[in-house]
Chain A
Amino acid sequence: MTNQIELSGVNKHYGAFHALKNINLSIAKGTFVALVGPSGCGKSTLLRSLAGLESISEGELKIAGELMNNVPPRKRDVAMVFQSYALYPHMTVEENLTYSLRIRGVAKAQAKKAAEEVAATTGLSHLLKRYPRELSGGQRQRVAMSRAIIRHPKAFLFDEPLSNLDAALRVHMRKEIRALHDRLHATSVYVTHDQIEAMTMADHVVVMREGVIEQQGKPLDLYDKPANKFVAGFIGSPAMNFIPAVAGEDGRSLTIDLGSVKHKIAIDHQIQPGRKVTAGIRPEHIGVTAPGQGTFDVPVAVVESTGSSTFVTAATTPELTIVETGRGTARAGETVGVTVDPSQLHLFDDASGVRL
């Protein structure tokens, strides 16, 4: 498979601020890539660099095999969907859709036909004569998408396109965007701060922090084998529990320190005896049983139920979050036993946070 987008050794400086640090990323044709990270991590800067709205300071940026470092946005043939949609307020939906075609000198009738076709696939046919201000949030979002689709660009760039929608519509549009991507055999780069969006939509997830790619890979690989503590805490909801621990003398066990509760548990691989580590365990990988029946016992502080699952917070330091499927058995103020499967434990170096 050929690479549609290729970044090698890309750096970006804003004066003294180093916004992107040695970014290497290859995006194969037809893949859906999500750039995810907390705000200020550089994901938007990276996307804007792809679009040509920012210039990169060092490195190479190739789109469809061509070097694009100093090519202006209009010649890159990429389409972008902005967070604010950036619909032209003084143009009707149809004019918004055909804007890029008209600039390229496509005949009026042909542009109109293209707009009608795209509008039919995105359910905008009855809105073509309206102005953006007369549309609802969801409709505006569709117009922004359609404006990108109509061009058949080399790549679609999405800059948090769903963050202005309400929760229900967001979930719906998630599926729709993914379906659209598959139907068009497009190459998409999708920026989001919402790891659920990244996990559910993308073929390839890139987790960024402070201008650095912390880890990239298939969504479930990131979930199963996070490369470091940051990725482990960022991917998955509710977030992974991190517990300070010390390796036992044989290097095959850990003593975890939960403040009031200290417990020795076996681990399934050898580490250096006496080493200080952080043990990570996902809330959904901890089981709840009767007191004394599990790996160890913890006092329960808070129980929150959503109906489909129950969040249990244990009164330990650090707090331990447990997710039980369905109606939970734990009650606030009581003590419960918890079971921990050693194969589900993630171990990170205490100082660097790197996975062991």
Chain B
Amino acid sequence: MSDTTRNRIMLVIAILMAAIYLFPLYWMYITALKGGSEMFATPPSFWPGDPQWGTFGYVWESRGMGRYLWNSLVIAVGAVTLITVLGVGCAYVLARYRNVWVDIGLFMILMLQVLPASLMVTPIFVGFSQLGMLDYPRLAVIIAIAAKSMPFFVVLVRATFMAVPMELEEAALVDGNSRVGAFFSIVLPLARNGILVSAILIFMQAFGEFVYSKSMIQAAELQPASVGLNSFMGPNTNEWNNIMAYATMYVTPILAIFVLLQRRIVSGLTSGALK
């Protein structure tokens, strides 16, 4: 088999795989545009015959999506800010010091990552309710998400810090800076890309978070879009086009961020983004 033939076969396989992965997304978009009868047509149509653009406006208004997305944004931004402020310092220490206690700390951090949110939600709920934090349900969710996603962030950012050579810091120390000054003027600027990428990944996770929000936020006007989408669905749901229009409006911004930044994200994850 010649190289070009093999490359072509590989390409076909790659396209096929991509098509399988992206099919649900495609189905979401076309279903959102289909009319009531077209949705249930057999055989299904793969392109909407009569695109119903009005569905989006209708869903946005009737479900109060602006409020839901705002809540999602508040929760995501809050969680990312909290995680970044606390996690950067933690990751730096774990990157620079090597001893038994650091190893134990790292192991504990990874253990936290293993526990699923649905397992953690009950004790967190009880604890928060005792502390009276459920009176500020969005803050409660932000803290819960921060606890859940911090390990992921710390592990990623630690790798970034480890890619910053120790000698640069030592040079800064000899040049007359303090440890803290060297961190802010040398290490942080060099690790910026890695931190940014990790923060974006955390943001996207937090933007779609469901379990904590569903259990801790009772008031509909404080719920994020993920919970709003869930409350849209019931046992007898048949307005799939409206649900898909909701989903479209929910995920398209995240998708857009990812597409715009995907090169940076991939390189940030693989190389530590330092040269």
**A binding-site residues for B, Cβ under 8 Å:** 51-53, 72-74, 76, 78-80, 82, 84, 86, 88-90, 99-100, 103-104, 133, 147, 151, 157
Q: A90-B189, A90-B190, A103-B181 are in contact. Are A84 and B165 (CB under 8 A)?
A: yes
Residues of B with C-beta under 8 A to A51: 170, 174
Q: A88-B168, A103-B181 are in contact. Are A133 and B174 (CB under 8 A)?
A: no
Decide if A89 touches B190 in the complex (CB within 8 Å).
yes
Picked from B168, B176, B177, the residue with its CB within 8 Å of the CB of A86 is B168
Picked from A89, A90, A103, the residue with its CB within 8 Å of the CB of B177 is A103
Residues of B with C-beta under 8 A to A72: 173, 178
Residues of B with C-beta under 8 A to A53: 170, 173-174
Residues of A with C-beta under 8 A to B175: 74, 79, 99-100, 103, 147, 151
**A-B contacts at CB below 8 angstroms, number:** 60
Shortest beta-carbon distance from B67 to chain A in Å: 42
Picked from A82, A84, A104, the residue with its CB within 8 Å of the CB of B176 is A104
Picked from B167, B274, B275, the residue with its CB within 8 Å of the CB of A84 is B167
Tell whether B172 is near chain A: CB-to-CB under 8 Å: yes
Residues of A with C-beta under 8 A to B165: 84, 86
| 7 pairs from A and B in contact (CB 8 Å cutoff) | A53-B170, A72-B173, A74-B176, A80-B174, A103-B177, A147-B175, A151-B176
Q: In the assembly, what is the distance between CA of A103 and CA of B274, in Å? A: 24
Residues of B with C-beta under 8 A to A103: 175-177, 181
Decide if A86 touches B170 in the complex (CB within 8 Å).
yes
Q: In the assembly, what is the distance between CA of A82 and CA of B190, in Å? A: 19
Q: In the assembly, what is the distance between CA of A147 and CA of B177, in Å? A: 14
Residues of A with C-beta under 8 A to B275: 89, 133
Q: Is the interface of B mostly helix, strand, loop or mixed?
A: helix
Q: A82-B167, A84-B165, A133-B275 are in contact. Are A99 and B178 (CB under 8 A)?
A: no
Chain A residue with Cβ nearest B169: A86
Residues of A with C-beta under 8 A to B117: none
Chain B residue with Cβ nearest A99: B175
Q: In the assembly, what is the distance between CA of A275 and CA of B155, in Å? A: 65
Shortest beta-carbon distance from B47 to chain A in Å: 50
Tell whether B186 is near chain A: CB-to-CB under 8 Å: yes
Residues of A with C-beta under 8 A to B147: none
Interface residues of B in 27-86 (CB under 8 A from A): none
Decide if A78 touches B174 in the complex (CB within 8 Å).
yes
Residues of B with C-beta under 8 A to A99: 172, 175, 185
Decide if A82 touches B181 in the complex (CB within 8 Å).
no
Residues of A with C-beta under 8 A to B177: 74, 103
Decide if A82 touches B178 in the complex (CB within 8 Å).
no
Q: In the assembly, what is the distance between CA of A133 and CA of B274, in Å? A: 11
Picked from A73, A84, A90, A104, the residue with its CB within 8 Å of the CB of B174 is A73
Knowing that A80-B174, A89-B274 touch, tell me 6 more A-B residue pairs with CB under 8 angstroms. A73-B174, A80-B170, A86-B165, A103-B175, A103-B176, A151-B176
